[in-house]
Amino acid sequence: MIVLPTRRLALELGTWRTSGPAYVALADRIRLLALDGRIPLGTRLPAERELAAHLGVSRTLVAAAYARLRSAGYLESTRGSGSVVAMPGRGAPDLDGGDGVVLDFSKAALPAAPQVGEAAARAARDLPAYLNGNGYDPLGLPRLRQALADRYSARGVPTSPGQIMVTLGAQHAISLLARLLLTPAGTALVEAPSYPHAYEALRSAGRRLVPVSVDAARGWDDDGLEQAFRQGRPTVAYVMPDFHNPTGAVMPADQRARLMAAARRQDTVVVADETMAELRIDGDALPPLAAFGPAVLIGSMGKTVWGGLRIGWIRADEGLIRRLVQSRYAQDLGTPVLEQLIALDLLGSYDQLLRFRARQLAEGRDRLEELLRDVLPGWEVPHVGGGLSTWVNLGAPVSSQLALAARDRGLLLGAGPRFGIDGVFERFLRVPFSYPTEDTRLAVGILATAWRSLDDRAPTRTDFAPALV
């Protein structure tokens, strides 16, 4: 059983107090941490007395919060085992009588591209030609690796098939690299905010993370980057320079050059996550980080094509690829051949697919900006040039409260602290613009209602009527 240290829970809780009853606020914040996956199911929470002492509150308050969670099915307590995080069963009452999630906006994702069905059919017809082999290949199909190498070469980074490994998506690629490159004493430079599952992969064995600030308007903190390299001496730097998740920021070319120069001085391996890089709506494409130095690049079709197509890849020097092959055998034995054939087929018309996505996302972005401007004018909504979401500044540290209020009304969203370390970013909310028009309209309507339920800090239109589904 996982035991959550008191200090760790306190950090994840962040600024949990609200204007309502303190025990309700504490229970709600623990509930959100469980729903977001930041506290895994089956984890034992700290004892009431220990948590109370650390938070500087009475044991009665913590006991009341735990009791509220138990009555709603989010905690199970047995003598000798303490209080263990659970999920409510079908018959368990929710904390606020919610009717269950109607819309899941917690994922910045798109439905499958129209080309996927036909590509899958063609790939199935090609599959028999591969059935005489054993099907285990940690590198990937040679034809697919050649096609991916050709795309990198066309982007200004000459690449051979030997520099490509096909993976089970981008998250798999991050995990493979983290396990190979980091030691238990290693340090990883990360962005803050950032992709939460990258945090999890990098600190899976208790490794130290050194955060560098990224802002939707100002981008990466130049001084912070220099200090993080110089003082943290990271083994690995994980960055997302194109349409950064969640801020949407794009790293300028001169800053890319400075980042790679700093990494060379400290002998740091830079891992650039390019899963959003080709979801450009407007503006010119910038060269990949590998054009400025020996960066490792991660790509994927999960965002551009469909999350159900578990195809990603790593571009690195051939020596690192060979080391990854040896390391991979301890985790899996290769990527499914059929999915690789689908990916290979799609690469034949990939530029056309990306143009379709750009139009689709432009409409979604503009629609979301207009709705938020109309209904929640007090929010600061950045205008992003690509990606799948925007990083909204709420103007008040209430992101977790808002996410819970929206959830109780049927909308699932990732609160700002989900994308940070130790409970920060309570002023921010990631809102995807990759969903259909009516879903987005309904989601904004729920957000407006949830916002009004918190207090009167922001003006909203009261005549907004979300579509019913």
> Is residue 254 pLDDT above 80, yes or no?
yes
pLDDT at residue 37 in the model: 72
- Of 30-39, 108-117, 394-403, 437-446, least confident by mean pLDDT is 30-39
331 has pLDDT over 90? no
- What's the pLDDT at 268? 97
Tell me if residue 273 falls in helix, strand or coil. Answer: strand
Question: Taking 80 as the threshold, does the pLDDT of residue 308 lie above it?
Answer: yes
pTM for the structure as a whole: 0.83
Residue range 160-179: average pLDDT? 97
Mean of the pLDDT values across residues 250-277?
97
Q: What is the mean pLDDT of residues 196-212?
A: 85
In this structure, are residues 419 and 390 in contact, taking their beta carbons and an 8 Å threshold?
Answer: no
- The reported pLDDT for the residue numbered 1 is 60
Predicted confidence band of residue 99 (pLDDT cuts 50, 70, 90): very low
pLDDT beyond 90 at 34 = no
Higher pLDDT, 405 or 12: 405
* Strand stretches in 139-257, DSSP E: 164-167, 187-192, 208-215, 219-220, 236-239
Domains of the chain from N-terminus onward? 6-85 (1.10.10.10), 103-112+352-454 (3.90.1150.10), 116-348 (3.40.640.10)
**In the structure, what pLDDT confidence band is assigned to residue 94 with cuts at 50, 70 and 90?**
very low
Task: Indicate the average pLDDT of the chain.
Answer: 90
> Is 50 exceeded by the pLDDT of residue 467?
no
- Is pLDDT larger for residue 462 or for residue 274? 274
452 with 383: CB under 8 angstroms? no
Q: What is the mean pLDDT of residues 123-150?
A: 96
Q: Tell me the residue ranges of DSSP E strands in 180-268.
A: 187-192, 208-215, 219-220, 236-239
Q: Quick check: 297 pLDDT over 70?
A: yes
CA proximity to 273, closest of 249, 245, 299: 299
- Over 90: is that where the pLDDT of 17 sits? no
CB 34 within 8 Å of CB 403: no
Q: What is the pLDDT confidence band of residue 354, given thresholds at 50, 70 and 90? A: very high
Lowest average pLDDT, out of 78-87, 138-147, 223-232, 417-426, goes to 78-87
Query: pLDDT digit string (tens) for 181-203?
Result: 998 888 999 999 999 999 989 98
Q: What is the pLDDT of residue 88?
A: 79
Cα angle vertex 199, ends 197, 202, to 5°?
110
What integer is the mean pLDDT of 120-139?
95
Q: Is the pLDDT of residue 460 over 60?
A: no
Residue 83 pairs in a beta bridge with 77
Per-residue pLDDT, averaged over 436-445, amounts to 95
Concatenated DSSP letters for 326-376? HHHTTT-SB--HHHHHHHHHHHTTHHHHHHHHHHHHHHHHHHHHHHHHHH-
**pLDDT reported for residue 92:** 39
Q: Is 347 left (phi over 0), alpha (psi -120 to 50) or beta?
A: alpha
Task: Report the pLDDT averaged over residues 260-284.
Answer: 96
130 burial level (CB within 10 Å; 0-12, 13-18, 19+): middle
Confidence of residue 345 (pLDDT cuts 50, 70, 90): very high
Helix, strand, or coil (residue 69): helix
d(CA 118, CA 125): 11
User: What pLDDT score does 433 carry?
Assistant: 97
> Which pLDDT belongs to residue 290?
97
pLDDT one-digit tens code per residue, 220-240: 999 999 999 999 999 999 999
- For residues 266 and 235, the answer to whether their CB atoms sit within 8 Å is no
With 90 as the cut, is the pLDDT of residue 213 above it? yes
Nearest of 232, 178, 189, 242 to residue 212 by alpha carbon: 189
